[in-house]
Amino acid sequence: MANATRLAAIDLGSNSFHLLLAQRLTHGGYKILARQRQKVRLADGLQANGELDQAAIDRGVECLSGFRNYLARGHVQHIRCVATAALRQASNNAAVIQAFEQALGVPIELISGHTEAELIYQGATAAMANSEQAMLVLDIGGASTEMIAGNGVVPHYLESLNMGCVIWQNRYFADGEITAEAMQQATAAAAQLVAPLSTQFQRYPWQTVVGASGTFRALYDILQRDNCQAIEAAWLDHVVVRAQQLGQCQKLGRLGIRKDRQAVFMGGLAILCGIMQHLPITRIELAQGALREGLAQQLALRPLV
């Protein structure tokens, strides 16, 4: 029966690998059955010569071997797996993808930044199928940042920038120290990449801004502690000050940041601050989906043979 068909969407992100297991419904939608997530930190393995190091490859293989076992138990009929920025940037990506495919037992598609942005937008707006609201979707990944403006479920302007929370963390906060100088440098570097895009994005004025990545989920953890409703510019500035007062990434738990996010939080925060320097964003809400939900949506809409 069509409504018993199981789908799996796998996102090999630059920070985390995600697996979404879903059941296709008769109307073409899907129901999420389970999620798997593992911090692989692939982008940590990008070396100066452009190659992904063996330690990162081994972490990926270990994770995907576990995914393979999980999928075998789940009786999944249709699977799509995509790789993103860290593997786009790795000079040895062909060999890495081959090793990952052997571990997972499924072909892996290396997608472009444009395709990644499209999938993120689709996943972030899937729950808004009946809305024509003008949207700006932001996704700060491990090695890239996607920015997409659109109306309802239709994207109009998409950009993928080579900056991400893992890359920025390693570049500006590698020693684990949080200083005003490091934050200023990291924010300025992000702002420099965003500045040339500002005019184009403002041609698509948005009513709602949503964040669709771990950086935004971490900020919402802080929001809950602060009894606030949404990410706003003044509150974000206050988070920066509080983080600098703590002085060390390992102390970010005092703000409400989960332990598995503390090591890359400042990199993502600096990128968001850089974005907000050049785009008139006053409020950011948490998206209900991201890339893997976009993948699942596409799988659910495909004719099944």
The whole-angstrom separation of Cα 207 and Cα 98 is: 43
| Per-residue pLDDT tens over the stretch 101-159 | 999 999 999 999 999 999 999 999 987 656 788 999 999 999 999 999 999 989 999 99
In a domain, 295, yes or no: no
Q: 3-state DSSP call for residue 182?
A: helix
Residue 184 and residue 234 share a domain: yes
Residue 145 and residue 263 share a domain: yes
Residue 131 and residue 89 share a domain: no
Residue written as token pair 């018993």:
4
Residue 141 and residue 7 share a domain: no
| Domain edge (last residue) among 57, 88, 113 | 113
Distances (CA, A) of 22 to 63, 275, 302: 20, 34, 14
| Per-residue pLDDT tens over the stretch 200-228 | 999 999 999 999 999 999 999 999 999 98
Residue 80 and residue 22 share a domain: yes
- For residue 63, what pLDDT is reported? 98
- For residue 1, what pLDDT is reported? 40
| Per-residue pLDDT tens over the stretch 86-100 | 999 999 999 999 999
With residues binned 3-state (H G I as helix, E B as strand, rest as coil), the percentages for the chain, rounded to 5, are 50, 25, 25
Residue 137 and residue 281 share a domain: yes
The whole-angstrom separation of Cα 44 and Cα 54 is: 11
Residue 156 and residue 108 share a domain: no
pTM of the full structure: 0.93
Average pLDDT, the chain: 94
Residue 227 and residue 155 share a domain: yes
- CATH number of the CATH domain containing 161: 3.30.420.150
- For residue 287, what pLDDT is reported? 93
Q: Which residues of 200-215 are buried (b: 16+ CB within 10 A; e: fewer)?
A: ebeebebeebbbbbbb
Min mean pLDDT across 110-114, 276-280, 297-301 is at 297-301
- CATH number of the CATH domain containing 44: 3.30.420.40
In a domain, 143, yes or no: yes
Structure tokens, 181: 């100088």
In a domain, 37, yes or no: yes
State yes or no: pLDDT of 303 exceeds 80.
no
| Per-residue pLDDT tens over the stretch 254-268 | 999 999 999 999 999
| Domain edge (last residue) among 113, 143, 161 | 113
pLDDT-above-90 percentage for the chain: 87
In a domain, 219, yes or no: yes
Please name every residue paired with 159 in a beta bridge, in sequence order, or none if there are none. 147
Residue 70 and residue 102 share a domain: yes
Total domains present in the chain:
2
Residue 248 and residue 130 share a domain: yes
Outline where DSSP puts E strands in the chain: 6-12, 16-24, 30-39, 78-83, 108-110, 134-140, 145-151, 154-161, 208-211, 231-232, 283-286
For residue 85, the enclosing domain spans 2-113
In a domain, 147, yes or no: yes
Residue 71 and residue 128 share a domain: no
In a domain, 87, yes or no: yes
| Per-residue pLDDT tens over the stretch 157-186 | 999 999 999 999 999 999 999 999 999 999
User: Do the bridges between strand 283-286 and strand 231-232 make them parallel or antiparallel, or are there none, so unpaired?
Assistant: antiparallel
| Per-residue pLDDT tens over the stretch 22-58 | 999 887 688 999 999 999 999 999 999 999 999 999 9
The whole-angstrom separation of Cα 43 and Cα 262 is: 16
Average the pLDDT over 62-69 and give the result. Answer: 97
Average the pLDDT over 61-82 and give the result. Answer: 95
Residue 95 and residue 173 share a domain: no
In a domain, 224, yes or no: yes
In a domain, 305, yes or no: no
Check residues 2 and 54 and name the one with the higher pLDDT.
54
| Domain edge (last residue) among 113, 135, 150 | 113
Q: At 2, is the pLDDT very low, low, confident or very high (cuts 50, 70, 90)?
A: very low
